[in-house]
Amino acid sequence: MKVAKIRGLGYESNVYVIYNYSEDRECTIVDTGLGSNHAIAETMKIINALRVESVKIILTHRHCDHVCGLPAILKKLNAKGCDTEIFAHHNDAKAIAYGDRTVLADSFGIKFGGVATVKAIDEGEIEMGEQKAKIVHTPGHTPGSICIYVNNTLFSGDTLFAGGGVGRWDLPMGDINMLMHSLQKIAKFDIRALHPGHGPSIYGHEARNNASEAYQYIKRILEMGIE
């Protein structure tokens, strides 16, 4: 498994392209960013180089900085004739499909009318080329936040960042108690590479202990009565 990362500029999320050197001509995109020229161009540069014919797009949650690039990327993939599927957890899929206010597009000054072809998924396995990944439901930042776990690698969206950081729980539909339980869940995984929604990726011992550190941080906040 190979991972190409387009690091988000400013508030824009990171975008990841997961692929294999094989003849299956498939890849998976994790999140699509705000839709900046930089993110779209870099994503399509990788897609074009791989000469893929089939693309899965998995959205880690509903927020605009992760999904508002979807219409532009989808338009370019359709123009190439790619067979494209879009997935999000069922708790966030409807918001993305209809572009409702909880996507927070207005906060970024972006018009987002939604993408109706989003398919709702639940926790479980999803095929990614020749391998299977685990979709892990990790609510707290949003009700439908997910992480993707494959080959000891975690794509964590805004659930978990490097250095034990976590996504905000004070935004609409956020929940600090759910976030704590989500961190406790993923802390049990054997994570050797962490690719978060924002900021740097981390590896090895640092990646392995990161979720536990974040869990302890949130637990202390709750014990202090700070929410």
Per residue in 47-84, pLDDT (tens digit) is 999 999 999 999 999 999 999 999 999 999 999 999 99
Decide if pLDDT at 145 tops 80.
yes
Question: In angstroms, how far is CA 92 from the centroid of its own chain?
Answer: 12
Superfamily of domain 133-227: Ribonuclease Z/Hydroxyacylglutathione hydrolase-like (3.60.15.10)
Would you place residue 22 in the very low, low, confident or very high pLDDT band (cuts 50, 70, 90)? Answer: low
Spacing of C-alpha 161 from chain mean position: 12
Instruction: Tell me the average pLDDT across 16-41.
Output: 91
pTM to 2 decimal places = 0.96
Say which CATH topology domain 1-122 has. Metallo-beta-lactamase; Chain A (3.60.15)
C-alpha closest to that of 139 among 190, 188, 88: 88
Reported residue count of the chain is 227
Cα atoms in the Cβ-side hemisphere of radius 13 Å centred on 171: 19
Give the contacts of 1 (CB within 8 A, at least 6 positions apart): 18, 19, 20, 131, 150, 151, 153
In which residue are the tokens 């692929």 written? 19
Model confidence over 160-218: pLDDT tens digits? 999 999 999 999 999 999 999 999 999 999 999 999 999 999 999 999 999 999 999 99
Q: What is the mean pLDDT of residues 15-27?
A: 85
Q: Which residues contact 2 (CB under 8 A, 6 or more apart)?
A: 18, 19, 20, 21
Q: What residues does CATH 3.60.15.10 cover in the chain? A: 1-122, 133-227
Check residue 131 and give its pLDDT. 86
- Write the pLDDT tens digit of every residue in 77-128: 999 999 999 999 999 999 999 999 999 999 999 999 999 899 999 999 999 8
Angle (deg, nearest 10), helices 204-223 and 176-186:
150
pLDDT at 35 over 90: yes
